[in-house]
Amino acid sequence: MEIARKLAEDCCKYGAENQNNDNRIARTTLDFGTSYDLIETERKTLLGILRDQVSEPLRTLITGAPLEDARHLVRRYDRLQQEVEAQAAEVLRRRSKTKESDVTPESCLKLRSAEESLNELISTMKALGREATDAMLSVEDQQQQATFQHLFSMVDAERSYHQHVLALLDKLYDEMSLEEQRMQSSSMLASTRKDVNIPTAHQDANSNGPDDPTHINQTNAYFIAKVVHAFDAQTEGELSLSVDDYVVVRQIRL
């Protein structure tokens, strides 16, 4: 990308500095450099969209409050589950003591208190588990929808970028193709003028100069013409022409 950017800058500079002359290369390089500058602008726009509408929002989803709140509930549930397990072990230990022969009223009271605490912890754990599950499912649904929309925005931005770049390249290609046709036409015209201005030996042999009674004071001009209307020859000596053909036209001024 750095090479393309530097090339575009150099082309714009060269084209701008040589516009005063009939310099086809200057026009072409200016068109080339300008087009690539516009392509670079489109690329920067795409990167900005990817940053602002895709990357940053997705990062916010990962560190956002809804997900953090749901994770906090899950951590609370995990800690409460550990408390339930510890309390269940305490209940089992006290129940084992009540099976001994020397059971005291105090031991029975402590067992009943431990069982009540266990039931309360289990009830709280179940409620917190449902709350944590609902929170995680809600966050998951929100994140899936948001992620889809952000990915869709990314694809849409990529699609728009490539469409704009293709349009710029098509325009540049058409301009360069037209310039190529102009160069070919100019080259053909120069070659034709060179050919028609060279006198042949036959012309020299049959020309007696201005004293020849057959000599006519006339000026000939030759130019290249492009056919815009087709013509079908009807008689011998006529020439059939097709649209976009090129012909050499001789203009005689007496």
Question: For 194-246, how does the pLDDT look when each residue is reduced to its tens digit (9 = 90+)?
Answer: 555 544 444 444 444 444 444 444 455 666 777 877 888 777 777 788 877 77
**Burial grade of 133 (CB within 10 A; 0-12, 13-18, 19 or more):** middle
The residue ranges of DSSP E strands in the chain, in sequence order, are 219-226, 246-253
Q: Are 246 and 188 in contact (CB under 8 A)?
A: yes
C-alpha span between 161 and 165 (Å, rounded): 6
- Report residue 254 CA to chain centroid gap: 63
Kindly report, as residue ranges, where domains of CATH 1.20.1270.60 are found in the chain: 2-175
Q: What is the mean pLDDT of residues 153-174?
A: 93
Neighbouring residues of 50: CB distance < 8 A, sequence distance ≥ 6: 154, 157
Provide the percentage of residues in the chain whose pLDDT is more than 70. 79
CATH topology classification for 2-175: Substrate Binding Domain Of Dnak; Chain:A; Domain 2 (1.20.1270)
Q: What is the mean pLDDT of residues 36-48?
A: 91
Q: What pLDDT is stored for residue 214 in this prediction?
A: 42
**Burial grade of 92 (CB within 10 A; 0-12, 13-18, 19 or more):** exposed
> What's the chain's length in residues?
254
Residue 161 has pLDDT above 90, yes or no: yes
> What tens digit of pLDDT does each residue of 209-222 get?
444 444 444 455 66
With H, G, I as helix, E, B as strand and everything else as coil, classify residue 233: coil
Q: What pLDDT is stored for residue 205 in this prediction?
A: 41
